[in-house]
Chain A
Amino acid sequence: MPKLTINGQPVEVPEGTNLIEAAKAIGVEVPHYCYHPSLTIAGQCRLCMVDIEKVPRPQIACNTVAAEGMVVETETARVKDTRRSMMEFHLINHPLDCPVCDQAGECFLQIYYMKHGLYDPRMTDEKVHKPKAVPLGPHVILDAERCILCSRCVRYCDEVTHTGELGIFNRGDHSEIGLFPGKTLENKYSGNVIDICPVGALTDRDFRFKVRVWYLDTAKSICNGCARGCNIEVHTNKHRHHHNEGRRVARLKPRFNADVNTWWICDAGRYGFQWIDDKSRLAQPLHRVGSQGTDVSWDRALEVTVAALRRYAPEEIGFLASPQMSNEDLWVLKRLADQLAVRNLDFRVPPATPGDEDNFLIRADKNPNTRGAVLCGIAPGPGGLDAPGMLRAARENRLKLLWIFHHDLAASSWAEGDVLTALEGAETVIFQGTNANDASARAHIVLPSAAYVESEGTFTNFEGRVQRFRTALPPLGSAWPDWMILSFVGKALGFQDPVFAAERAEQVWNALAAATPLLAGMTYRTIGDTGAMVKA
């Protein structure tokens, strides 16, 4: 572990650490473009120059390994002057089209010009012109004039996805990023090049021109697209509805977690949020009598729900929970089932087609909380029915009340006819979820759920990592978080379990952790931003 001094501060770093990372360890930022901790060192942007004692010229910090006794200065007059020169070089052929550039506001040309540039431009000759608005694939679009040729995207496609779609073509100031002949940037992780592009060269075809980034709010969250539970940020547009056709979720961005997804997320996760602001969202409780469905208040909806639960014997009731639900949701459901002595409890619905999986991030299980559902005890009780058993019993009119959470059974591997006859066979069908589907269209009671970005809670990923997601938005319309709906039901049924009196998801979590040895002692605080493992 070499000890060195940076700007007069001593720091000890692991062997092999470069000077950018060593400086970062003591909160000193060395500006850079081409360096990215996940990629090989390119050393091309020449911005990260620092002074090192006994070395005659400034050196690039990215390719200089911290050594014992090294004395580094990142803010000498010479370093600052070099930075200013590099900023000028980076910008002489740049189109300076910030007013129409989607990167504006999060562009490192802007940020570093303001922090380290502030020179008077001297370039008066015609700039080099290059291709603009070139789609590279389904998600990414290139403006070669804005590109600073840092080669991060090229190295990403070579070293991370190993797909090699991109290259740098031509020479000198005519160099430009482009696709190799016959290639399209459509690997399963292509969106990440947008994030690592420090400038406006690679922008997001889905997001661009939707919202200016400075209008976005940010919440830490967990991708609900598969069992990996990649850490994400949800970027929402709450204040300028006219900018994005009223859609509140503007985009999802990966959030670094060394143990889960590092810097990356897959495209399926990144762009899989359209359902949140989709027209199919359920926003109001509904009560259907015969073929006539009526929007009702929550009071009325709870009243008919409670009445239905009281109408049947426990063995006539089935709960089909969902691994899309949080641990908190599932725990309140589990307590409710226990209090009602309902043993017909399951969450497993096989998908119509097996999910794709790779050896990087993507998991075949497209649910974020299968492990959590198991840990919460969402399984048939003694003599109880599993999911196919419940459907069969409903078809045979033995199951009178079927309460389906979230599942779109049309997307299951079960035969459509079997599903529909089951929905018709049960006297009372309750659908609780976010989006309309076959079940909600036939349900007697529809209870609208908040989407995961509209509530807080935890998911447990396939490795057993419990991870928190925070509230990014208020629930749409009259929707409520699942755990809240269920606790109101429990309370209305007169059950005394304190979990039904919870006012915040955290209280539900604490009850779950107290009741579950594998989660003992785990709190929202200890789970933090990067998650905590369930006990082995």
Chain B
Amino acid sequence: MTPAAFRTPEIGEDTPELRARLHAIWATEPGWKGWFTTVDHKEIGIRYIITAFVLLALGGIEALVIRLQLAGPDLNLLTPEQYNEFFSTHGMTMIFLYASPVLSGFSNYLWPLLLGSRDMAFPRLNAFSYWVYLAAALFLYAGFLTGNGANDGWFNYVPYAERQYNPGLNQDFYALGMVLLGISTTVGAANFIVTAFKMRAPGMSINRMPILIWGTLTASVANLVVVPAVSLAFFLLWLDRQFGTSFFQTSGGGQPLLWQHLFWIFGHPWVYAIVLPAMGMASDGLPVFCRRPLVGYSLVALSTVATMILGFGVWVHHMFATGLPGLSLSFFSGASIVITVPSAVAIFAWLATIWTGRPVMTTAFLFFASMILLFVIGGVSGFMTASVPVDWQLTDTYFVVAHLHYVLVGINVFPVVGATYFWFPKMFGRMMDERLGRWNFWTMFLGFNLGFLPMHLTGLFGMPRRVWTYPAGMGWSTLNMITTIGSFVFAIGVLLFFVNVARSLRSGAKAPADPWGGPTLEWAVPSPPAPYNFTVIPTIASRHPLWEEALDESRGRSSIARGMMLDHGKETVTTTPLDAEPDRIVEMPEDSWAPFLLAAALGVLFFALLLKAWAAIALGALLVLAALVMWLWPQRRLLEREPAHG
């Protein structure tokens, strides 16, 4: 019998019989067993999103406590140590445990649907990356809840993070937790990259990919390059602390600045990694509501990649005040000014899409459109800090706090909430409430700007960052009170969002397959989609498969209802990286305990490392090994070339 990979796939129509057959092959077993073993990208994506939103809420509550402490001068709601743990945990949560995972969640859910595939390239790795993310989040929060939270900021500068100045378990929790989280990010990134290049539907050449794919792909490549730097840095820090090495300690010939280089070589590209996919969401979402294709698709795609390439060369702008020589400062200053150019491309492309389209004002549109303004505000304040001499005044003041919140809330939270309004009907088969949506938008938008626009002034008036309190008479008191009020209004807005999600899940109007009249493949399948996504693998003839009739720009038409059936087993098709010519049929793995067990074993191992309990470390290592063996154990189903399901 011909191996599946080289079989000639049968072409057929989307019929109820075929659906029933595929359902039997692809559906996850109901009940708790299926819950732990599923490798369905949609299930994993939704878990990612929910977990990330829970962490967003936790990080938000931390922020509100911080804002209460800073509402007026000389307040004593928190002790300095509590304040330091709150602001560090807030940063860590938002940057590492919310901003990136929520995008991974959306991409996990959406990618195969956008690409016309039945799953991600490595479904078990996908499940594993979620479970490790969850384990890392629990690990890091175990530190915070036992009073051992990160207390040196998310950037965690040495020597303050070294044992001499920081003797508790705080930094060990943070260091090991970040190494654990790095595993999740790395395998997730590898999965995205392979998926983007191999799992596209036939005909979806690389210049037909939705911009969200470009965004997440670019971010994933960056993650693969830079996450090792930060994992290494945290591992070395742990060695310094626990085994007396001197990577960062001058007493043994180490260098504190080495930490900053390792951290920011990672940290700056990471900032782009947590905004580019969100910009992709807006680039794909806005055109739907403007009823026209995105202006300048190629330029936007290229600017996404260009931003990241330049983004590798700007990390020193976090270190302008560290006494580096003037020549290197000018290089990084120049690069940081130039990096605004590709961002400007995206801004003008979105504006042009709105102006040359016929926009319809939905809640999702409001969130995507407002992102443009917030991005510009966050962008120009970043441009100001790019100028070295100016930065010597701006850096480490609240100006930078305002800047980074415009970037991260403006270009991550706003488009993510917009994306939820946009894709919620697809995920759950129900529409979100538009009326509550308006309230949600305006409370978030006004609250955010009320809180963070005046914060620029707080910074220009010289308030330093990361202070647990401040004296009266510095000109900051009123501004801080306004920021505190604004942040509470913003929090109410986020709460309205959660309320809307909860209500719509229960009683939202039923959503059709294509509630917005969208152009891309996810709108061609039912809401919510079947476990196998596509009954037949579509063949793509343009960038906007569902808008071909309306646009009528070429004679070729995509084939959605007729295509490869691939019903001999849990199968999908891979295509060539650039042109997306059909390459071979691949058999996808069944649901498996291995990802969950491996992640759990890693959790045990890392807790054992934290406590330096050698017996437990040995046990953890054995468990990891056992789970790996289980994962890699040859399975007849994946090797045998007979159809697995008859």
The answer to whether A and B belong to the same complex is no
List the interface of chain A (C-beta within 8 A of B): none
